[in-house]
Amino acid sequence: MKKKIAFLFPGQGSQVVGMGLDLYQEYDFVRQIFDTVDEVSKAHISKLCFKGPMEELTLTVNLQPAMTAVNLACLAALEKEGIQPDVTAGHSLGEYSALRATGVVSPEDTCRLVFKRGHLMHREATKHEGAMHAIIGLNIDEVREIVEEARKEGVVAVANHNTAEQIVITGAPDAVKSASEMAKARGAKAIPLRVSGAWHSELIRGAEDDFRAFLAEIPFNTPKLPVLFNVTAASESDPNEIKEIMARQLCSPVRWYDSVCRMQEDEIVVFGEVGPKKVLTGLLRKIIPDTYEYEVYNVDGMKGLEAFLRAIT
C-alpha cells in the first residue's frame, strides 16, 4: 500500500543566506519563480536569498516573498518528479505555499499575496511595537490562563501552538514580559524571539481589512487535495471560505500542534519539509510519539530532493 505523504512548508524564521541557489542553478523553471518574485516585489529578492545580507533578508517585507520563492522552488522540483502529497500544511507564511501546492492559487498570485501581506504586516509593526516569546514547559491551557491574567498589562495572545509544551506568545512588550515572568514562576522557560512585530495578535488587526480586500481580487480555486489550515486545523474546500480563513490568519493563533495530530489520525507516515532548514522537522519530533512509525525528509535543495526521491520511489 502506498505510504501517505504530507508536504509541510516553513515560514518566517527558517531563512538562511544561500537558500535556493542550487535549485536556481539547476532548473530553468526555478529561475522563472525567482524572476516572478523579483518582478512582483520590484526588489532583488533572489539576490538576498543567495547572497544576503541576513539583516536585510530578515526584514518581513523581503522575507515573506523570499521564503515563499524558495518553498515554491522546492515544490516545483518535487512536482517535476511527479511527487504528489496526500495533504499539505504550512506554518503561518508557509500556508501560502501549501495553497499553491494544492492548486488554490497560481505561482504569480502566491507571490502577490505574500508581498502584500508582508507590506501590510510591516506597516502595522511600525505603528505598534511588539514582542514574541516562546514559552517552553507549559501546556496550552496553562499558557492561556497566564495570557488572560497578563492582559491587564496590555495586548497579549497565543501566537503559535507549536507542540504540546512549546507555545509562542505575542503582543505588546510589557504584557508579553509580564506573561513570561508568570510562566517562569510556574517553572517554564521563556525565550524572546527576534521578530519585528507582534505577529498573530491584535496589534496587526489594522492589516486585516486591507488584506481581505486584496484577497477578494485574487482568483482562488477549489483545492485539488486537502490543506490543513492554521486557523482551524481542518481542511476547507470552498474558495470563498478559504479567503476568509486567510484573512483571519493574520491575527489568529497558528494551530500547528492540532494540525500534526490530525495528520496522525489520517495515517500520514511520510513528512516532507519543503523549504529551508529543519524547524518543522524539529516540531514533528516533539509532537509525534515514539510509538507512531513515520519518516521525515527535508527537501531544501538538490541533496534533500535526491534523498527524498531515493526514499519514496
> Where exactly are the structural domains of the chain?
5-126+203-312, 131-194
- Compute how many other C-beta atoms are within 10 angstroms of the C-beta atom of residue 136: 15
The residue annotated as part of the active site, out of 91, 122, 161, 200, is 200
The pLDDT value recorded for residue 263 is: 98
119 catalytically annotated: no
Q: Does the domain at residues 131-194 carry the CATH identifier 3.30.70.250?
A: yes
Q: HEC states along the chain?
A: CCCCEEEEECCCCCCCCCCCHHHHHHCHHHHHHHHHHHHHHCCCHHHHHHHCCHHHHCCHHHHHHHHHHHHHHHHHHHHHCCCCCCEEEECHHHHHHHHHHCCCCCHHHHHHHHHHHHHHHHHHHHHCCCEEEEEECCCHHHHHHHHHHHHHHCCEEEEEEEECCEEEEEECHHHHHHHHHHHHHCCCEEEECCCCCCCCCHHHHHHHHHHHHHHHHCCCCCCCCCECCCCCCCCCCCHHHHHHHHHHHCCCCECHHHHHHHHHHCCCCEEEEECCCCHHHHHHHHHCCCCCCCEEEEECCHHHHHHHHHHHC
- Bridge-partner residues for 39, per DSSP? none
Same fold, 5-126+203-312 and 131-194: no
Mean pLDDT for 58-81 is: 97
The pLDDT value recorded for residue 103 is: 98
Mean pLDDT for 98-117 is: 98
The residue annotated as part of the active site, out of 14, 41, 46, 92, is 92
The CA distance from 282 to 161, in Å, is 14
- Mean pLDDT (the chain) is 97
The pLDDT value recorded for residue 313 is: 83
Nearest-Å Rg of the Cα atoms of the chain is 19
The pLDDT value recorded for residue 27 is: 98
The pLDDT value recorded for residue 2 is: 84
Mean pLDDT for 184-192 is: 98
Task: Say yes or no to pLDDT of 214 above 90.
Answer: yes
Set of cell numbers at residue 184: 517562569
**pLDDT digits over 265-282, tens only?**
999 999 999 999 999 999
Fold of the domain spanning 5-126+203-312? Malonyl-Coenzyme A Acyl Carrier Protein; domain 2 (3.40.366)
Q: HEC states along 102-145?
A: CCCCCHHHHHHHHHHHHHHHHHHHHHCCCEEEEEECCCHHHHHH
For residue 237, the Cα-to-chain-centroid distance in whole angstroms is 20
Task: Say yes or no to pLDDT of 228 above 90.
Answer: yes
**pLDDT digits over 119-140, tens only?**
999 999 999 999 999 999 999 9
Instruction: Give pTM, 2 decimals.
Output: 0.97
92 catalytically annotated: yes
The pLDDT value recorded for residue 196 is: 87
Task: Say yes or no to pLDDT of 1 above 80.
Answer: no
Percent of the chain, pLDDT > 90?
98
Mean pLDDT for 162-173 is: 98
Q: Is 247 left (phi over 0), alpha (psi -120 to 50) or beta?
A: alpha
Q: Is 239 left (phi over 0), alpha (psi -120 to 50) or beta?
A: alpha
**pLDDT digits over 73-103, tens only?**
999 999 999 999 999 999 999 999 999 999 9
**pLDDT digits over 5-32, tens only?**
999 999 999 999 999 999 999 999 999 9
